[in-house]
């Protein structure tokens, strides 16, 4: 998946497990950017009696680098606290929840938002209410309206939302991790001598009808870049975005009191910038370590981007389908195209009218050129599809990042740095066979853009 359960240790800690990061110029408020960090992977909608919630003991952060050094210049911090109205009932709610202050809602969650810049912490909001989870038609009637009331306006033209959303990321996980058997091409797979697949089949969206917890922020562009009217060729228009989750050093389980307490500084346990980097490029033995590191140190992981294991596997798994990629992988030449896409941004001059370059520092950040306006007719393949407002120029909620990265790894983007290279025909066709049509809940046209979460009464159906 994008980054769901992508590393051994964090896979056991769902509330601190970042799953996706999005950053895009808001289509309905183009003077702002929307930043979304998703946590808690693969939430089954029927989550009772303890419905999903953020970790009260986790520090969630969205970082923005505005000068390309791989370090945060602006950080938004989110800390949550859960309040029980009645600890003597086992119920999440004792009647319909029709408002955020409903007396029927027993287990409520609130949060603070703090902006950190230049070493100064500025509280933006406290006691902000999360919406409840989408339980069902009796417990959470008119859920969409109820959840919309949890969009809070903060000083400085900032909007914030933190709560459950429908999973918008689509991926055929079952096929990809069954030895990269992409269903639309499964008949071409080597199949290890097992004659199982004789014809192509459509992809299956593993994350369909599941929810996540989103932290969504909408911020004026000028508050990050100093101006909302920069030219797209201006390096100052480019921001780098990533999220982290951190936990305290020490967790004490007091058996005598039946309580937990924490001590010590926060330490980072989860990180996410570009989708699929830790999931697909970083080797198993280093994934948890990668999660603890800031982007500024990503040079130590750069070889895994420059020489991706999957690029060498594809020709072996699909014999005769990727001959040019096989030659490229065998040559040992570093994949400067992937380094540009994922670690430095794409310099000016490679794609007409586009750059999101942040300089020589190798850092996994989602880079967004905020001067590029939202597309009127978005293409889910983003820059690969000629839509400069999509991934890897930031990432929108509907972008097909799996196909984009599969094609890039398969060599489709290598001509950006080596004009003489001719990609295999398959590099322009490879996909896991999914589109936003495979996401049952529609995306929203306005903040927070991810769809209304699936309710527990009707899902799974």
d(CA 389, CA 405): 16
Output DSSP code: residue 454: P
Angle between helices 323-331 and 309-317 (to 10 degrees): 140
Pick 120 or 420: Cβ nearer another protein: 120
Q: Which is nearer to another protein, 167 or 288 (CB)?
A: 288
Q: Measured between alpha carbons, how far is 201 from 174 in angstroms, rounded to an integer? A: 13
Q: Give the chain's length.
A: 461
Report the residue number, 250 or 316, with the smaller CB distance to another protein.
250
Cβ–Cβ under 8 Å, residues 279 and 263: no
Closer to another protein by CB, 112 or 379: give it: 112
Smallest gap, in angstroms, from Cβ of residue 248 to another protein?
6
**SS3 assignment for 3-63:** CCCCCCCHHHCHHHCEEEEEEEECCCCCCEEEEEEEEEEEECCCCCCCCCCCCCCEEEEEE
Cis? peptide before 353, omega within 30° of 0: no
Using a 10 angstrom Cβ sphere, with 0-12 exposed, 13-18 middle and 19 or more buried, the burial of residue 425 is exposed
**Closer residue to another protein, CB minimum distance, 24 or 80:** 80
In angstroms, what is the minimal distance from the CB of 250 to another protein? 5
CA gap 307, 175 in Å, rounded: 23
Nearer to another protein, 74 or 348 (CB): 74
Distance from C-alpha of 430 to C-alpha of 408, rounded to nearest angstrom? 10
Rounded to a whole number of angstroms, the minimum distance from the CB of residue 375 to another protein is: 31
Strands (E), 300-379: 366-369
Rounded to the nearest 10 degrees, the angle between the axes of helix 309-317 and helix 401-409 is: 80
Pseudo-torsion of CA 329, 334, 340, 346, nearest 10°? -90
**Which residue number, 35 or 383, has a Cβ lying nearer to another protein?**
35
Residues within the interface to another protein (CB under 8 A):
9-10, 12-13, 15-16, 59, 61, 63, 71-75, 77, 79, 112, 114, 116-121, 244, 246-253, 261-269, 288, 291-297
In the 8-state DSSP scheme, what is residue 339?
H
- The answer to whether 241 touches 63, Cβ cutoff 8 Å, is yes
Q: Is the dihedral of CA 10, 11, 17, 22 positive or negative?
A: positive
Residue carrying the six token digits 């303890």 = 50
Residue environment code for 261-292, b if the CB has 16+ CB neighbours within 10 A, otherwise e: eeeeebebbbbbbbbbbbbbbbeeeebbebbb
Q: How far is it, in rounded angstroms, from Cα 34 to Cα 50?
A: 30
- Closer to another protein at the Cβ: 270 or 370? 270
Residue with tokens 């400085």: 156
What is the nearest approach in angstroms of another protein to the Cβ of residue 92?
19
The nearest distance, CB 257 to another protein, in angstroms, is: 11
Nearer to another protein, 127 or 353 (CB): 127
Give the H or E element holding residue 314: helix 309-317
Nearest distance from C-beta of residue 12 to another protein, angstroms = 7
């Amino acid at each position: 998946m994008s980054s769901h359960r992508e590393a051994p240790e964090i896979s056991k800690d769902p509330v601190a497990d970042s799953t996706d990061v999005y950053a895009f110029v808001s289509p309905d408020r183009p003077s702002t950017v929307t930043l979304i960090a998703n946590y808690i992977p693969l939430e089954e909608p029927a989550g009772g009696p303890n419905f999903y919630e953020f970790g009260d003991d986790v520090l969630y952060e969205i970082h923005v680098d505005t000068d390309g050094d791989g370090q945060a210049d602006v950080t938004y911090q989110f800390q949550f606290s859960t309040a029980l109205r009645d600890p003597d009932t086992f119920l999440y709610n004792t009647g319909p929840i029709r408002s955020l202050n409903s007396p029927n809602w027993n287990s409520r969650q609130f949060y603070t938002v703090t902006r950190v810049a230049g070493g100064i912490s500025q509280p933006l909001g406290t006691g902000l209410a999360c919406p409840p989870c989408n339980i069902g038609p009796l417990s959470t009637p008119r859920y969409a309206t109820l959840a919309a009331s949890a969009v809070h306006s903060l000083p400085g033209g900032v909007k914030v939302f933190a709560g459950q959303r429908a999973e918008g990321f689509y991926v055929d996980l079952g096929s990809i991790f069954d030895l990269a058997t992409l269903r639309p091409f499964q008949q071409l797979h080597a199949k290890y001598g097992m004659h199982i697949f004789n014809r192509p089949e459509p992809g299956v969206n593993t994350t369909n009808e599941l929810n996540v917890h989103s932290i969504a922020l909408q911020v004026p562009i000028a508050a990050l870049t100093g101006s909302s009217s920069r030219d797209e060729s201006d390096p100052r228009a480019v921001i780098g975005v990533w999220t982290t989750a951190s936990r305290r050093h020490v967790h004490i389980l007091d058996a005598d009191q039946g309580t937990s307490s924490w001590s010590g500084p926060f330490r980072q346990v989860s990180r996410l910038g570009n989708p699929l980097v830790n999931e697909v490029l970083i080797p198993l033995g280093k994934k948890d370590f990668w999660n603890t590191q800031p982007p500024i140190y990503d040079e130590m992981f750069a070889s895994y981007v420059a020489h991706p294991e999957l690029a060498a596997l594809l020709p072996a798994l699909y014999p005769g389908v990727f001959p040019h990629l096989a030659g490229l992988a065998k040559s040992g030449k570093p994949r400067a195209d992937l380094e540009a896409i994922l670690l430095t941004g794409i310099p000016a001059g490679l794609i007409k009218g586009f750059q999101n370059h942040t300089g020589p520092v190798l850092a996994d950040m989602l880079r967004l050129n905020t001067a590029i306006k939202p597309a009127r007719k978005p293409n889910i393949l983003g820059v690969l599809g000629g839509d400069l407002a999509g991934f890897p120029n930031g990432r929108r909620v509907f972008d097909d990042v799996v196909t984009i990265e599969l094609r890039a790894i398969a060599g489709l983007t290598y001509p950006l740095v080596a004009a003489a290279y001719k990609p295999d025909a398959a590099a322009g066709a490879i996909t896991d066979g999914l589109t936003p049509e495979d996401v049952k809940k529609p995306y929203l046209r306005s903040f927070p853009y991810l769809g209304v979460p699936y309710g527990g009464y009707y899902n799974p159906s």
